[in-house]
Amino acid sequence: MASEPRILASKRLREAWPPVSEDDVQLPSGARKTWIRMHLGTSAAILAVTKEKEIVLTREYRHGLGRIAFSLPGGTAREGESPDACARRELLEETGYEAGRVLELFAGNSLTAYLDGMLHLFFTRDCRPTDRRPDPDEIAAVERMTVTKALAEARSGAFESLVLTSAILLADARGWLVA
């Protein structure tokens, strides 16, 4: 059995968020490669459904795409903040909705080639609007989409976000979305 790859050297390229490092890695074959790694820590996103069976989504500028796109409310956990508390806070901050009972859909790495961190996807139904309004510099719009339409969009690959698509399909597979 081949040995595991080894990190021979690591240097921090960037300290500001998101921190980025460059690693010199020796592969089991003896070959050496250089990779970058982004250090995001714990992050959380939430698929929130209203009592009217509508999914609450954000429309946000996504720099990787270079445009505004549909997203799940979510972000990076603060120091000492649990993933579910992060998901609840992000839902409130980004949409003005308050989560009910929160169920975990997924915990893992969403970009295994370059990302050091764990993404937690959550689901909540019967979320409620509050008087809170999102920061317009972060959120272009908050939109509600019927479960039926969201499922059709996810199944057809219409969403540009794998995280959003996965959350909808995972919740549906578990029987948590009822159109």
- Residues that are catalytic: 138
Q: Among positive and negative, which fits the CA dihedral 175, 125, 82, 168?
A: positive
State the DSSP code for 60. E
Helices (H) and strands (E) in the chain, counts: 3, 10
Give the DSSP letter string of the chain. -PPPPEEEEEEEEE-SSSPEEEEEEE-TTS-EEEEEEEEEEEEEEEEEEETTSEEEEEEEEETTTTEEEEE-SEEEPPTT--HHHHHHHHHHHHHSEE--SEEEEEEE-S-TTTEEEEEEEEEEEEEEE-S----TTT-SEEEEEEHHHHHHHHHHT--S-HHHHHHHHHHHHTT----
